[in-house]
Amino acid sequence: MNEKTPWGLVWILLGAGILSAFQVGKVPPVLQDIRSDLSISLFRAGWVLSIFNFIGLMMGTCTGAIADAMGHRRLMLTGILLQILGTFLGSFSLSFGWLLATRFMEGTGFLAVVVTTPALIFQVVREKDVKTAMSVWSCYIPAGVSLMMLLLPFFLTFTSWKGLWRINGVVLALYGIVLFKATADIPFLNSSHTLKLRALGTDILKTITSPGPLVLALIFITYSLQWLAVMGFLPTMLLEKYGFSRGVASWLTAGVVFLNIFGNLAGGKLLMVGCRRWLLIGLASFVMGCCAMAIYAPGHNFILNYAGCLLFSLVGGLIPASVLGAAPIYAPSKNLISTTTGLVIQGGQSGQVIGPPVLAWLVSSTGTWTAGAWFLGSVALAGILLSLCMAGLKDLE
């Protein structure tokens, strides 16, 4: 570990997460355009959002174990390459199946980046800066998604959603060169490891049977399910329920997502002054459940709906700061940080796969957005119960 934390390198690594999150944020505001262009239903549109995360559901822990064995930097750069290929190929989509396949490729690359980057950050920062660095890292999703949503109306003045996909591919390619050069001196953390199936299985089994990583993953399921279900369909709800233009709906959604950054940073600060992770998670889960009632309240009360979204996003940010930053702490060993992160991400991706299609099905079946209130409120209750389980774990910090 360096005598002084190389914050410039930390910010560059954060940039890899932010650009990867661009591939999440680029979809919700143009979902209506995609539906119209490819003639797909709202339910299928939910899978355009969720299939991006399906690979994480299936392979999160395994990807982390592969990273611990073959090298975090190598897999991170591979993830950037996969996202470049996925977004370029996706820009030529003529059918729902083709778009779904390319989103799957992007999701694979996204997973590779977000599983490996925390281990690289943990490797280069000083011990006293770990909580701060991990708090900063936990902002990659809201930072990337909100920035993309802010920029998207500008891009759409001169190009279509397919052109937006190509612009993302170019930006990723250029940043990949920066990453390749900037991370060249980071050593392979587990130089004694080789990629063997038996060792891979042992690492995975050791991680998934450890109570800390398992509880973290379950908590992240509840958070991410609520998060993508709300944010993924927020532009659509604003268009359908209040008749806003696409640009206004995108900016309103970007504002909601952007607030999540402050929640993440506040979570890191509260942890540094001694607040317990389980308490922050329980509080955030309770507030998110209450906000779901406001977001999907019956009637046409925009102030109530939107205020609920803002508070949902702000306080909800306490959870990723508490969970993602805990992966290096609750990992069974320092050689299994990425495997632990992979399990947590697998939980997150599971929630993101489940949330949008279920919410879309409930809304389509009932004909009202109000159905989302009780669905997300129940998930928030599960988060509260899991936070109490976390309180019973041995404090490893």
**What pLDDT sits at residue 189?**
57
Position 383 scores a pLDDT of: 92
**pLDDT at position 395, please?**
52
31 in any annotated domain: yes
State the CATH number of the domain containing residue 129. 1.20.1250.20
pLDDT on residue 170:
95
Any domain includes 1? no
| pLDDT for residue 59 | 64
Q: What is the pLDDT of residue 1?
A: 44
Number of domains the chain is built from = 1
Which stretches of the chain score pLDDT less than 50? 1-2, 191-192
| Beta carbons of 74 and 169 less than 8 angstroms apart | no
Task: Please report whether residue 94 resides in a domain.
Answer: yes
Supply the pLDDT for residue 381: 94
Q: Which domain holds residue 88?
A: 7-391
Give the pLDDT of residue 326: 79
Retrieve residue 122's tokens: 């943990």
Looking at residue 63, its pLDDT comes to 65
pLDDT at position 310 is 94
Q: Which two tokens stand for residue 112?
A: 């590779």
pTM to 2 decimal places:
0.73
pLDDT at 196: 58
Q: Would residue 304 count as lying in a domain? A: yes
For residue 354, what pLDDT is reported?
A: 81
